[in-house]
Amino acid sequence: MGAVYFYHLTDTPLEQTLPMLVGKARGAGWRVLVRGRGEALLNRLDEALWAGQPTSFLPHGMAGGAHDALQPVLLGIDTKPEGFACLMSVDGAGLTAQEVTQADRSCILFDGYDEAALNHARGQWKMLADAGCQAQYWAQVDGSWVKKAESGAP
């Protein structure tokens, strides 16, 4: 049974945080699905993943290609999570409790300065915690990630 980690972005933008988290997930040997709600943001994240340092290159692709099943990291809108050990939700994209429990790790990244994003993340936390998912809330404090809350059984 996987866990869901909520990342409250305040000090570092999504375009910098996502590559760091994807790198950690790939370091754990996980195949990663990044699920968003719109092409414009996913295209920006695609560019951010390509723009990394050569030593931290993160091979990836956009969903809908001929080689989706071979991509170690896939960015998509309505992409099903089968075959992915790590699910990352950006821009309020949904994750179900079933998806969270079937993955090794799920991450929900949200903009800490957007009231609608904060409210949506709170709703996701309640829904997933009420469904029995283990959840952790991480916030940025002076540039470092600090776990602020935890819900559910390990």
- The 10s digit of each residue's pLDDT in 7-33 is 999 999 999 999 999 999 999 999 999
pTM to 2 decimal places = 0.92
| Token pair of 44 as six digits | 């920006």
Cβ atoms of residues 41 and 90 within 8 Å = yes
What is the pairing mode between strands 134-141 and 144-151?
antiparallel
CATH class of this structure's domain 3-151 = alpha beta
Mean pLDDT, to the nearest integer, of 90-97? 96
* Percent of the chain residues past pLDDT 90, beyond the cut: 81
Mean residue pLDDT across the chain: 92
Q: CA-CA distance, 146 to 136, in Å (whole number)?
A: 10
> Can you say whether the dihedral through the CA atoms of 22, 34, 133, 109 is positive or negative?
positive
Domain ranges of the chain: 3-151
Q: Does the pLDDT value for residue 56 go beyond 80?
A: no
- The 10s digit of each residue's pLDDT in 78-87 is 889 999 999 9
